[in-house]
Chain A
Amino acid sequence: MTLTGYLILSAILFTLGVLGVLLRRNAIMILMSIELMLNAVNLAMVAFSRFIPGLDGQVISFLIIAIAAAEAAVGLALVVQVARDRQTVDVDDLTLLRG
């Protein structure tokens, strides 16, 4: 399989993640869509590392996975606290900071 195929798959998954962030209203779903986007980027990184031989892409992928784990932990902690405070995780209802 060529590099182009992997990159197109990565682009499609990234687009699905963007659509999830834009369209969903549940804060947890938005975080999940961000994970989908990070996975798409990881796939592109690994594909590049294979087709331009060199392990740098895989190491960066590894770092991205760790950062995604940290991001999920903090993001979900914030969602839990917001849900306790407001009894909702719907981002359309969280308008306190809207100008």
Chain B
Amino acid sequence: METALFFIMAAIAITAGGMVILNKNPVKSAFSLIVVMLALAILYMQLSATFLSMIQIMVYAGAVMVLFLFVLFILNVGVEGAFSSRMYKRAVAGLVGALMGVVLIAAVLMRGSRMQQLPGMDVAGDFGHIKPVGELLFTKYLLPFELLSILLLVAIIGAMLTTRPKWPKLKLPPELWPGTADEASTETGEEN
């Protein structure tokens, strides 16, 4: 049962992952990516990472992909044309990428026999639940966690400032223009 579920989810993830990079329409690619993320969430559940599975659905499939879809709709990105220009370079790039994949899989398979001998499969009943993960997050990984909050804050401010259309022009009435204000105050001072 577990093995069957793994193979079904792996097939779905690989098919949808292929559709992500092969689809000419970016919106269809985005939806394929959501399918990949949901399949991975089910695999996380099977790996008894229940908290991470929920986070995967909420943050990745929910928030990040909605952000991608919003940008696609805002920019009205059309369908990508055929790979006409620099065909040769693209073929080389694809070959290099495929070669990297072969090397990765070969590395996993070569070490496979050693990985089979890993210690027992038995884990505690609450393994991967929110409490033990949270405890680890607030003790051993406290510094990365806090740094991450700063990173997110900087990312929010950076994204807002980057997409800002233009610095707003200051529209002050003439009596408040810099320079004249000082003169006005000195003039009133002289009168007194």
Interchain CB contact (< 8 A) of B18 among A16, A50, A77: A16
**How many residues on B have C-beta within 8 angstroms of the other chain's C-beta atoms?**
85
In the assembled complex, which residues on chain B have CB atoms less than 8 Å from the CB atom of A53? 119-120, 122-123, 127
Q: Contacts A16-B21, A65-B59, A77-B163 given: A28-B98 contact, CB under 8 Å?
A: no
Q: Contacts A39-B40, A55-B132, A73-B67 given: A15-B152 contact, CB under 8 Å?
A: no
Task: Say if the beta carbon of B192 comes within 8 Å of chain A.
Answer: no
Interface size range on A against B: 35 or more
How many cross-chain pairs have Cβ atoms below 8 Å apart between A and B? Answer: 228
Among residues of A, the one whose C-beta sits closest to the C-beta of B91 is A23
Q: Contacts A3-B118, A39-B60, A46-B44 given: A80-B75 contact, CB under 8 Å?
A: yes
Task: Say if the beta carbon of B181 comes within 8 Å of chain A.
Answer: no
Q: Contacts A22-B93, A29-B80 given: A67-B148 contact, CB under 8 Å?
A: yes
Q: How far is the CB of B162 from chain A (nearest CB, A)?
A: 4
Task: Say if the beta carbon of A94 comes within 8 Å of chain B.
Answer: no
Q: Would you call A8 and B21 a contact (CB within 8 A)?
A: no
In the assembled complex, which residues on chain B have CB atoms less than 8 Å from the CB atom of A76? 67-68, 71, 159
In the assembled complex, which residues on chain A have CB atoms less than 8 Å from the CB atom of B101? 11-12, 14-15, 18-19
Q: In the complex, what distance in Å separates the CA atom of A19 from the CA atom of B94?
A: 6
Q: Contacts A51-B121, A55-B133 given: A11-B108 contact, CB under 8 Å?
A: yes
Q: In the complex, what distance in Å separates the CA atom of A20 from the CA atom of B145?
A: 31
Q: In the complex, what distance in Å separates the CA atom of A25 from the CA atom of B48?
A: 38
Task: Say if the beta carbon of B88 comes within 8 Å of chain A.
Answer: no
Q: In the complex, what distance in Å separates the CA atom of A29 from the CA atom of B26?
A: 7
In the assembled complex, which residues on chain B have CB atoms less than 8 Å from the CB atom of A35? 33, 60, 64
Q: Contacts A59-B141, A72-B67 given: A15-B162 contact, CB under 8 Å?
A: no
Task: Say if the beta carbon of B188 comes within 8 Å of chain A.
Answer: no
Q: Mark A14-57, 1 if CB is under 8 A from B, else 0.
A: 11111110111110110111011001001100110111110110
Interface residues of A (CB under 8 A from B): 1-9, 11-20, 22-26, 28-29, 31-33, 35-36, 39, 42-43, 46-47, 49-53, 55-56, 58-59, 61-63, 65-74, 76-81, 83-84, 89-90, 92
